[in-house]
Amino acid sequence: MDIWQAIVLGIVQGMTEFLPVSSSAHLIIFPWLFDWETSSVSFDTSLHLGTMTAVVVYFRSEIVKMIRAIPVALANPIGLLTGRGGSEADPERAADARLGLLIVIATLPGVILGLLFEDTVNEIFHTEENSDRAIATIAFMLIAVGIVLYVAERVSTRTRTMPGLRWLDA
């Protein structure tokens, strides 16, 4: 991979990370589309670490607030998640604790699925002999998720505010 390909993939990563599309899928599609050498897992990981660093820097004050609110979250996690508890003395800290808990809950399914299917994902997406299968799988999943997001947007009748989020919404 030459420097220009790396720059293009970095731009693709930056543009797709915050859209409701898979930036990882695009890092596989672009080299296939332009007949470039497949990027290594370590290169893709480096791009994701760069994105994560940017997110941490951008949201650093919110992250610090959530970290400082950990004692509130540990004192009454169920109450915070159900809206029947928290810190009446410091409602802002309770809101920060609740947000932190919701982020942890939202992260768990991805972590669990990633650990369970790590070998399968590596076999399908990170071996040269399966590149056509990987592209077909990616294309199907991008279309399927796009349809689900479109239907969810059309069916949804309300907008939820932060205090109105439930743990199932996470």
Alpha-carbon gap, residue 75 to 51, rounded angstroms: 33
Q: Say if 169 falls within a structural domain.
A: no
Q: Say if 40 falls within a structural domain.
A: yes
Q: Say if 66 falls within a structural domain.
A: yes
Q: Say if 147 falls within a structural domain.
A: yes
Segments of the chain scoring below 50 in pLDDT: none
The pLDDT of residue 169 is 67
The pLDDT of residue 7 is 92
- In this structure, what is the dihedral angle of CA atoms 125, 52, 50, 41, given to the nearest 10 degrees? -20
Burial class from Cβ neighbours inside 10 Å (0-12, 13-18, 19+) for residue 112 reads: exposed
Contacts of 80 (CB under 8 A, 6+ apart): 72, 73, 86, 94, 97, 98, 101
Do the beta carbons of residue 93 and residue 69 sit within 8 Å?
yes
Do the beta carbons of residue 76 and residue 85 sit within 8 Å?
yes
Number of domains in the chain: 1
Do the beta carbons of residue 25 and residue 141 sit within 8 Å?
yes
Q: Say if 50 falls within a structural domain.
A: yes
pTM across the whole model? 0.72
Q: Say if 170 falls within a structural domain.
A: no
Range of the domain at 84: 3-164
The pLDDT of residue 140 is 93
The pLDDT of residue 88 is 63
Q: Say if 77 falls within a structural domain.
A: yes
